[in-house]
């Protein structure tokens, strides 16, 4: 299972070279991590629908081997923090940061357990297979870890619970926009609106 803390599957290292937003990235992947043979289509849709301000801070929740947080760190020059419960994913994300020359903070965490900072952006391709409760915790904990006017952006398939995730985001943030629909993948975004 890709969301285990310490996967025991025999290693099966692959190297993926991908071009996103005019930037070439190289990723090592392995057995026991999510989407090891190619970048997940939903993650690609999320990457292609974000516009971030240089120098801001970003948290990638459930980073896997790092395709989202590391690409965004490189393309937009944001200060990226990547977390995952899976130790093998964390080791790969660290290697991939070095491989792509991205300075990022990367550590193991069960959702937000080890996260003490606050961020301008939180993004996630959440772990649907870990269950709805985990996905909803990714959403509710994001509110507590965003700076005022920060944004949570997630990708989720309609058939895997986009309507329920949207309802949860509306409940927690008081707002949620569908910023893109592509082949059944929804990009959902909420802002932590703070009155001056």
Ligand X SMILES: C[S@@+](CC[C@H](N)C(=O)[O-])C[C@H]1O[C@@H](n2cnc3c(N)ncnc32)[C@H](O)[C@@H]1O
Task: State the residues that interact with ligand X by CB under 6 A.
Answer: 2-3, 34-35, 40, 43, 62-64, 67-68, 83-86, 89, 110-111, 125, 127, 130, 134
58 or 111: whose CB is closer to ligand X? 111
3-state secondary structure of 177: strand
What is the smallest separation between the CB atom of 137 and ligand X, expressed in angstroms?
8
114 or 149: whose CB is closer to ligand X? 114
82 or 148: whose CB is closer to ligand X? 82
What is the smallest separation between the CB atom of 146 and ligand X, expressed in angstroms?
17
Cβ-proximal residue to ligand X, closest one: 62
What is the smallest separation between the CB atom of 88 and ligand X, expressed in angstroms?
9
Closest to 30 in 3D by CA, of 79, 78, 81, 64: 64
Distance between CA atoms of residues 185 and 157, nearest Å = 4
**Checking DSSP bridges between strand 177-182 and strand 185-191, what pairing results, if any?**
antiparallel
Rounded-to-10 torsion of CA 162, 167, 170, 171: -140
């Amino acid at each position: 299972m890709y969301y285990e803390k310490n996967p025991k599957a025999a290693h099966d290292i692959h190297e993926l070279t991908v071009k996103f937003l005019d930037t070439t990235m190289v990723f090592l992947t392995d057995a026991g991590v999510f989407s090891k043979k190619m970048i997940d289509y939903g993650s690609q849709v999320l990457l292609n629908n974000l516009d971030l301000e240089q120098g801001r801070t970003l948290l990638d929740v459930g980073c896997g081997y790092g395709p989202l947080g590391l690409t965004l760190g490189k393309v937009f020059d944001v200060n990226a923090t990547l977390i995952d419960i899976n130790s093998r994913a964390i080791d790969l994300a660290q290697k991939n940061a070095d491989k792509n020359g991205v300075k990022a903070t990367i550590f193991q965490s069960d959702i937000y357990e080890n996260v003490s900072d606050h961020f301008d952006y939180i993004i996630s391709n959440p772990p649907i297979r870990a269950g709805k409760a985990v996905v909803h915790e990714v959403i509710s904990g994001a509110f507590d870890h965003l700076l005022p006017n920060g944004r949570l952006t997630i990708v989720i398939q309609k058939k895997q619970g986009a309507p329920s995730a949207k309802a949860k985001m509306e409940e927690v943030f008081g707002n949620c926009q569908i910023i893109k629909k592509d082949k059944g993948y929804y990009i959902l975004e909420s802002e932590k609106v703070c009155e001056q």
